[in-house]
Structure 1
Amino acid sequence: MLSKVLKKDTRESAFVYAITAAGVVYAVTEACSMGKLLQCSCDNHIQDIRRDGEWEWGGCGDNVNYGYLKSKEFMDARKRKRRGDLTTRIQLHNNEAGRQAVKEFMRTVCKCHGLSGSCTLETCWRKMPIFRNVGTMLKEKFDGAIQVQSSNDGKRLETVHPTIKPPSVQDIVYSETSPNFCRRNKKVGSMGTKGRLCDPTSIGVGGCDLLCCNRGYKSETIRLRENCKCRFVWCCEVHCQTCEHDKTFNRCL
């Protein structure tokens, strides 16, 4: 299913490319900081900055520039030869949006040093954002994705609707309208949402109203048997009781 979806320039494929590029940046940068790669280490470009009369000493931060370069090499390598193609331009743009989601949202982390908890010396370094936050930012970009087309000279992307601002490097872009993922459709690679578990109390994407595409859902209560009241017995066993409880599952029709 995923391979068919990625062949189209929809907002869903745009998000996949962006989050994948961000993931490569994150993984490589993290590996550098942990000393797992011989080619790089943490970012040790120390700069002394005076702030409010106190010294702030730059520590050894996450080497996001190295992660960025490796992500660019890995994700963009096969696309560079076909830059004039609309699909290629869109994919390269979304790759960059994913990388920017990590690079542009680096955070400053500081640690105080001194006797009795005083902050006579403050060491600060740059650290990557939490990846869940990166995903949240890209999801917001997905919700506000901009539909684009190739310019007349084929050298840039421009918006389909002239009233919408041109996409920035952080924006996610697409050119094709998304297919209807509510129903099963092998041609577009959609498995549909029939049988999907949903939450009838949620108004989000996992809620029954949205996920079931207003088709309704059915509820089924099942009695489950699970280990409970476990205790450690010296030495060396774990004894558990078996508890039964009812659990309701809601599935889309």
Structure 2
Amino acid sequence: MSYDTATQTERRAEPPLHGPEAFEGMRRAGRLTAEALDLLVEHVKPGVSTQALDALVSDFARDNGAYSATLLYRGYPKSICTSINHVVCHGIPNDKPLREGDILNIDVTLILDGWYGDSSRMYFVGEVPRRAARLCDITHECLMRGIEAVKPGRTTNAIGAAIQSLAEQERCSVVRDFCGHGLGRVFHDAPTILHYVEPSYDVPLKPGMLFTIEPMINLGRPQVKVLSDGWTAVTRDRSLSAQFEHSVGVTESGVEIFTLSPKGYHKPPYATAG
């Protein structure tokens, strides 16, 4: 689940550094979150409601000794976020059926033994327009390039530069209003992970840091607005938006991804692994 840049002051000033026990806890929580996202692949289809997907994840979490971090978080009413087409993030599941051609981001955060696993992926609802599929490809590549930039001795702006340069090269835009965040035994913590370059904020990356990288990429302009429900963020120009997210940890030599798909699912279509 992304964090609003306007409220980032609520976090600790200095990013906490974690040891081997934390990394093991994050592996377990991250894997379970990835398994939940894998579970949804066969259920995302025309006619299915996002509320039905929410119930599947809720049941899966309970059956595996975990629970959703988003349910009742600051009043959020559901166990997952479901953001369709021009919804940038924090879409609330409801009874409206998905339609052929929709693109859907599903964001899941599960708490297992006190550790938070946070990840999101895009899903295709049937056959989608070429421009929508291209946006999802670009967004996934932005995420992976951002992750590749993580290394001790670099800074958070290396992540933002990798993401922003690719998105803008492809004539897309990076959303500024939401960002990645530290996590572990806390849902939203330091450091703030911006998906664009911001010279006034640049944090050194150190072994033991845990955080999410979760770029939101728009086909149109980057501006967003939040609807009257207080959660759903949409593109102001109603252009399509996509997002992918992983939870990662900085190691002595690079980065570890905690939320990789056990089934090898990376980006849609998910008919076959890979």
Global fold match (TM > 0.5): no
TM-score, reference length from structure 2 = 0.27
TM-score, reference length from structure 1 = 0.29
Say which structure, 1 or 2, has more relative contact order (CA 8 Å, 6+ apart): 2
Structure number with larger C-alpha Rg? 1
